[in-house]
Structure 1
Amino acid sequence: MDRSLYIAMNGAKQTLMAQTTNANNLANSQTTGFKADLEQSRSMPVFGPGYPTRVYAMTESPGTDLTSGPLAMTGRDLDVAINGEGWLVIEGADGKEAYTRAGDLRLTTEGLLQTGTGLAVMGNNGPIAIPPAEKLTIGSDGTISIIPQGANATALAVLDRIKLVKPDLDQLEKQNDGLLYLKDGGVSPEDASVRLIQGALEGSNVSTVGAMVEMIELAKNFELQTKVMKQADENSGISAKLMQMA
């Protein structure tokens, strides 16, 4: 009796964990450049003293869906999207090099170029700083050109270049901050083949409909597990009464 109760209890627990992952994906379906987390379940025997007669369900994250999201034209000078494969290089909160496809950039009052979440965008010589300018242009290769404030329209000056990289996808891992890092903690070399589109943003690659369908399936699965737990408890009670009669 305890086997069915244990398996149902563990299945319900793992279903709740899967719901957490799916809910996070759904909540970020409109987040610029977001990459969906994957989840799967498999059976695992419980090892310990004696023969492993118990089996439990285990939910695990096999990785991240790194496919591209849809592009939307915004016309904003500081919005950029990767055209094809590649990543923008930014400085993570811990100072390490991180990668993202969220190109909703902005300028601070000090002129620092940052992502929409406030992380510094990296250039040839570290974080990019931009002086006051009449106009700013970001080329397809990441080159940042400006017309300095007070200068005429022909005084175009090349300021810096956004660092763009294209590491192998199997070398990347998503961490708790939602950014991608190299698994070995290293730094990826710049790749000249990566191209940008100015005035565009890449959306989340989460399918809202797919996430909603999965949420319904997980809810039904959780309900089934709780029914099994209730039935196991009722059977245990009946068995106890039969033993008392004997």
Structure 2
Amino acid sequence: MDVSTFVLLSHEQALRRQMDITANNIANTNTVGFKREQALFHEYVEDLKQAPIEDARKASFVLDFGAIHDARQGHFQATGNPLDVMIEGPGYLNVESADGSTAYTRAGFVKILENGDLATSGGQRLLDENGRGITIPPDQMRNVTIAQDGSVMAGDNPVGRLAVTSFADENMLDVRGDGMLTGTGGQLMAAAQTKLRTGGVEASNVEPIVETTNMVDILRAYQTSQRMTEDMADMRQQAIGRLGRIN
């Protein structure tokens, strides 16, 4: 294959990656706390010194550089559960992973486990500012409220404050696949910086119409690249045929 074929192939691989990300966004339209992703590509220019003419010595390839998160906040989605929370502004709830490490989520479904621990809908313990779980006394499980600053009250008594961590660069967070993210370098937000809204959760910020339009554009771009590949193959066949007749 010549260089032009490799260039088109790199473009088609990038489009395929972009299609996968767009399809994943659409699949998570109804996933609470989900942040849409966008493919990030870099240009790689290779100097082909063996090219016969100057204009052909620079070949521009497309490199997949990963995906970035769209940090825009989703709209409030009421659930009827007074313990459910939505973080207004930046930050993530701190959650205890199965291996004891800390994961992060924007999905604010909150429930009380049988042992009194506050947990996510999946049963992972929610953590306080000291990295410990928040336990509700057995006789106060029906009298739990969560304040705007994350303070958890059991009746008239405070039992802890939900930890909310912010990240200077959210693109350094890794998606774990279960609504959780992992990352380092986060900073715990003070009570004055934290703003929680109870009685609902944050909906996905995916806009289905936008993603569907993107999918159509990606498909058209891929088809155009395929036609260019076929046209170049035809040109090579014609050139070989002409050279054969000359000889």
Superposition TM-score, scaled by structure 2 size = 0.82
Structure 1 13/86 Cα, relative in aligned 2: closer, same or farther at 3 Å? closer
Q: Relative to 1, partners in 2 of residues 1:146 and 1:44: Cα closer, same or farther, differing over 3 Å?
A: same
Equivalent residue number for residue 78 of structure 1: 83
Task: Provide, for residues 162-220 of structure 1, a one-character-per-residue CA deviation record: whole Å limited to 9, x for no partner.
Answer: 1123443x3662203154555xx245234112021111111111121111111110011
Matched, 1:68 2:73: yes
Matched, 1:192 2:200: no
Q: Distance in 2 between matches of 1:206 and 1:197?
A: 21
8 A contact 2:175–2:182 mirrored in 1? no
User: In structure 1, what is the equivalent of residue 64 of structure 2?
Assistant: 59
Distance 2:135 2:50 in 1: 64
CA RMSD of aligned residues (A): 2.6
- Does 2:181 align with 1:175? no
Letter in 1 for 2:152: I
- After TM superposition, list the pairs within 5 Å mapping 1:64-213 onto structure 2: 64-125=69-130, 126-132=132-138, 133-147=141-155, 156-168=156-168, 170=169, 173-177=172-176, 179-182=180-183, 185-193=184-192, 194-213=194-213
How far apart, CA to CA, are the structure 1 residues paired with 2:37 and 2:68?
7
Q: What one-letter code is carried by the residue in structure 1 that aligns with 2:238?
A: I
Q: What is the distance in 1 between the residues matched to 2:74 and 2:86?
A: 10
Aligned twin of 1:21: 21
Aligned partners of 1:245, 1:50: CA distance in 2, in Å?
Answer: 28
Structure 1 contact 33–203 (Cα < 8 Å) conserved: yes
Equivalence for 2:54: none
Q: CA deviation at 1:232?
A: 1.6
State whether residues 35 and 66 of structure 1, in contact with CA within 8 Å, keep that contact through their aligned partners in structure 2: yes
SS at match of 1:38: strand
TM-score by length of 1: 0.82
Q: Identity over aligned residues, as a percent?
A: 25
Letter in 2 for 1:130: I
Q: Does residue 243 of structure 2 align to residue 243 of structure 1? A: yes
Could you tell me how far 1:62 is from its partner in structure 2? 5.8
Consecutive unaligned residues in structure 2, runs of 5 or more: 52-56
SS at match of 2:187: coil
Q: Give 1:68 deviation, angstroms.
A: 0.8
Give me the whole-angstrom Cα distance separating, in 2, the residues matched to 1:62 and 1:172.
8
For 2:217 and 2:68, how far apart are their aligned partners in 1? 21
Structure of higher RCO (CA pairs closer than 8 Å, 6+ residues apart): 1
CA contact (8 A) 2:167 2:186 kept: no
